């Protein structure tokens, strides 16, 4: 599965657009991570506990988007984007979305 943020793929021709493919996940903070993150803010630097949490969320949302695109019959997703929103205190949604397409070599 080719996934790209561009609207076209060099050397490939889009022969069919199958519509929106999306995948999301909602993640909540963890008390143990919150304690470590709070301590880290005292000394400065990257809050690696949250970096890891968000990286895992991005990968899960992307995997779910790809699975939906495959169910639609796509072999690529173009114009891929990510969006984040707060659902409730301490929990956020991460959404991956793009256009599921069928491509072939030019």
Rounded distance between C-alpha atoms, residue 62 and residue 55, angstroms: 11
Q: Identify the residue whose tokens are 């630097």.
A: 45
Are the CB atoms for 100 and 60 separated by under 8 Å?
A: no
Q: What is the reported pTM?
A: 0.84
Where in the sequence is the domain holding 84, given as residue range(s)?
2-105
Q: pLDDT band at residue 33, thresholds of 50, 70 and 90?
A: low
Residue 5: predicted pLDDT: 98
The token duo for 92 is 């956020």
Where is pLDDT greater, at 79 or 34? 79
Across the chain, mean pLDDT equals 89
Residue 58: predicted pLDDT: 95
* pLDDT tens digits, one per residue of 43-87: 777 777 778 888 999 999 999 999 999 999 999 999 999 999 988
* CATH number (domain holding residue 73): 3.30.110.70
Residue 30: predicted pLDDT: 64
Rounded distance between C-alpha atoms, residue 28 and residue 95, angstroms: 15
Buried b (16+ CB within 10 A) or exposed e, 24-57: bbebeeeeeeeeebeeeeeeeeebebbeebeeeb
How many separate domains does the chain show? 1
């Amino acid at each position: 599965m080719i996934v790209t943020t561009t609207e076209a793929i060099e050397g490939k021709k889009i022969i069919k657009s199958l519509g929106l493919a999306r995948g999301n996940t909602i993640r909540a903070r963890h008390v143990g991570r919150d304690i470590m993150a709070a301590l880290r803010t005292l000394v400065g630097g990257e809050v690696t506990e949250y970096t890891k949490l968000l990286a895992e969320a991005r990968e899960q949302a992307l995997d779910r988007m790809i699975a939906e695109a495959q169910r639609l019959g796509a072999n690529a997703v173009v114009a891929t984007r990510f969006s984040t929103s707060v659902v409730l205190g301490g929990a956020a949604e991460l959404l991956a979305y793009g256009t599921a397409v069928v491509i072939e070599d030019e």
